[in-house]
Structure 1
């Protein structure tokens, strides 16, 4: 059955624009953010004062929170709400496979369907409604929500019937994204040391085999311009790479490359608190300058 009333928890850099795009389609959406709902709520949404209030008035609740601990905390509040109406929880957060599986177990015990549905595309993609969703769980539930998903995502993929599979795909995607950023930074810094211009390198790389998301988007739009505003935190890419390493090791997969990438991101995160992840370019460039002085 298609949901009539929707709820959204978490109105941060990703959550706010996703909720805004849902509301723009004229869908009935109530929102909550523990950091302050009124100042973050998109137009044409209803403001509620608690997660329990959402659970009592909504059929489906979307989550967009920072990590697994936050997600499970929200789920705990939902499932312990008396007289709840909610029957589906769609978790758009990157929480890791273990937290998604645990969320599914807790929801299932009280008759709520949990959908593991992390997103990719960054803040710009969330604002434009062009993000991808990697949804795992009950296929029929996904189908019932397709119209809503298309309101804020260009590519709502169904990736499997087991919650946790969406997270696995998301963290491997972000490991590749984080690797591309580090590898491209080192490559560009080498080119600059040989008196090549950054724009020239990007022009060539982006029609050659070295092309990747860092060279095609982050460098020309965020680094060359020195705006460093991709809208994705260094802390979050570090968290996701660490999740990939942990889960790959648990699966018996080699993490030789990931260990090196993870070390660099952890060092960058320690050095650059509250930063955009494109600032890793300046961080690594400054390290080189320091070794030459």
Structure 2
């Protein structure tokens, strides 16, 4: 028996995928109607979270944040059977994942933090990525279960909380990537370039292909042989802002990047590779 707590877009599609594999699933959600809707897929819905986990060997949870995880699991505790394994897919803080791993061990239960790079469609199709770290024997034991739910399980080593940390890092990249597109569209608007033209450009020239080399350059520690000088990158950044200003279009993140570049130029790094602006945070 499996229990699943949290019937948002991700959780509900995880449950639908489990039911497609004929897994017996008990479900709960704070808004009971969301759990009740999954009875059409063969799940059994409960209004009380302790009842939902009763008899379950595995309890999956995907809710909003650390506070929600702690609140829901505390309410579920009276119904947990001895030896139940708690598998938390919620994006949380690193500290929270570490604390819960220890706290639930003291209570006599196994807690795994397994955040995901998966959207609702991935959860339904069992594709995408799950991240896990910590007790390697436990990870090996649970690998088949987790692999059935996703395209790939990434074992990030024995450090508890490493999965939580890398999930946050990955999400930060997605946020900045999208924010970069916001400014990209704004600059295109200021110069009357249609979005379709941007899409066509990136189909032929994909900046994502340069990511491994960009990381290598940024972390090498030697910025003395530039492929793009910071002074020149700053000049282009000013061109972005000038074009936007002329059209009365606002850029969201480029002004902050320009200010960071100015700081490094003032420190005498203008003739170095522009990736020097990230050197203070490379270890």
- The interval holding the TM-score normalised by the smaller chain is 0.5 to 0.7
**1:146 Cα offset (Å):** 2.8
Aligned positions of 1:58-97 closer than 5 A: 58-79=56-77, 81=78, 84-97=81-94
Q: Is the 8 A contact 2:186 2:249 kept in 1?
A: no
- Mean CA deviation greater in 61-70 or 192-201: 192-201
Aligned positions of 1:114-125 closer than 5 A: 114-125=111-122
**1:25 Cα offset (Å):** 0.9
Give 2:242's aligned residue: none
Question: 1:16 is matched with which residue: 12, 19, 22?
Answer: 12
Separation in 2 of the partners of 1:179 and 1:108? 36
Structure 1 unaligned regions, length at least 5: 213-284
Give 2:152's aligned residue: 155
Give 1:220's aligned residue: none
2:132 is aligned with 1:135: yes
Q: Is the 8 A contact 1:117 1:135 kept in 2?
A: yes
Question: 2:25 is matched with which residue: 29, 34, 41?
Answer: 29
Separation in 1 of the partners of 2:158 and 2:204? 38
Separation in 1 of the partners of 2:249 and 2:13? 36
Separation in 1 of the partners of 2:73 and 2:193? 52
Distance 1:153 1:55, change over 3 A: same
Separation in 2 of the partners of 1:121 and 1:104? 23
Distance 1:202 1:6, change over 3 A: same
Aligned positions of 1:42-57 closer than 5 A: 43-57=41-55
Give 2:181's aligned residue: 184
Q: Is the 8 A contact 1:90 1:115 kept in 2?
A: yes
Distance 1:101 1:108, change over 3 A: same
**Runs of 4+ more than 3 Å apart:** 285-289
TM score, norm. by length of structure 1: 0.66
Separation in 2 of the partners of 1:75 and 1:193? 50
Give 2:267's aligned residue: none
Separation in 2 of the partners of 1:154 and 1:89? 21
**1:157 Cα offset (Å):** 1.4
Q: Is the 8 A contact 1:7 1:30 kept in 2?
A: yes
Separation in 1 of the partners of 2:9 and 2:167? 18
TM score, norm. by length of structure 2: 0.68
Separation in 2 of the partners of 1:51 and 1:86? 18
Deviations 1:170-197, CA, capped at 9 Å, x for gaps: 1000000000001122122212322222
Distance 1:7 1:162, change over 3 A: farther
Q: Is the 8 A contact 1:6 1:58 kept in 2?
A: yes
Separation in 1 of the partners of 2:116 and 2:70? 18
Separation in 1 of the partners of 2:136 and 2:52? 24
* Structure 1 vs Structure 2 CA RMSD: 2.4
**1:123 Cα offset (Å):** 2.2
Q: Is the 8 A contact 2:49 2:72 kept in 1?
A: yes
Separation in 1 of the partners of 2:39 and 2:153? 24
**1:138 Cα offset (Å):** 2.2
